A and B are shown apart, each in its own frame.
Chain A
């Protein structure tokens, strides 16, 4: 049982490039989340999904897009990378219980 798996673990991106952060979970959880973590700022919700085909914006969605075509996968897309998107990104999932389970994170640097 792998839980929540994020790839890649590290990435350096040039300004204006695009990329997709992958997130997959094997726990059959309906709810999935994307957060970004910046020093001293805690975690901020980017997007979330309550099930396949349903997504919604969180606190800081600008510059990001998501899709949820299957229960297992919840990719996060950056279309035009900017230095302000340098951060650590965490994917999480939740079943019917209240707590969320987190992946190991993706450390993204935009230069």
Chain B
């Protein structure tokens, strides 16, 4: 069975500081991995995805994530936090061909001015 663990349900960073949101997965086969962002009272928006191509994946709004098979991790980073980054972030995994997605419990990011 697949599962996703997001370490830290709440993360606070100062504006301009590094953002690091952690995600570890378990999967029996090389997975697809995703980061989604959810703003208040909205649906989920795809930030980036990993599908077995380059291990460093760049997404929208300056975010990127690195797939590390040896650590079964897919951590999300952004060099400099902006106030507009405050949101809930979800890591998700699926086995190809992606019939089912499994989500982590989410990390709420607060950006302090």
Contact = CB atoms under 8 A, between A and B. Distances in A.
Interface of A: 4, 31, 33, 35, 40-45, 48, 50, 58, 90, 92, 94, 98-105
Nearest to B49: A99
Contacts of A31: 98-99
A104 B42 contact: yes
23 contacts: A4-B43, A31-B98, A31-B99, A40-B9, A41-B105, A42-B104, A43-B92, A43-B101, A44-B103, A45-B101, A90-B43, A90-B44, A94-B98, A98-B32, A98-B51, A98-B98, A99-B34, A101-B46, A102-B44, A102-B45, A103-B43, A105-B41, A105-B42
Interface of B: 4, 9, 32, 34, 36, 41-46, 49, 51, 90, 92, 94, 96-106
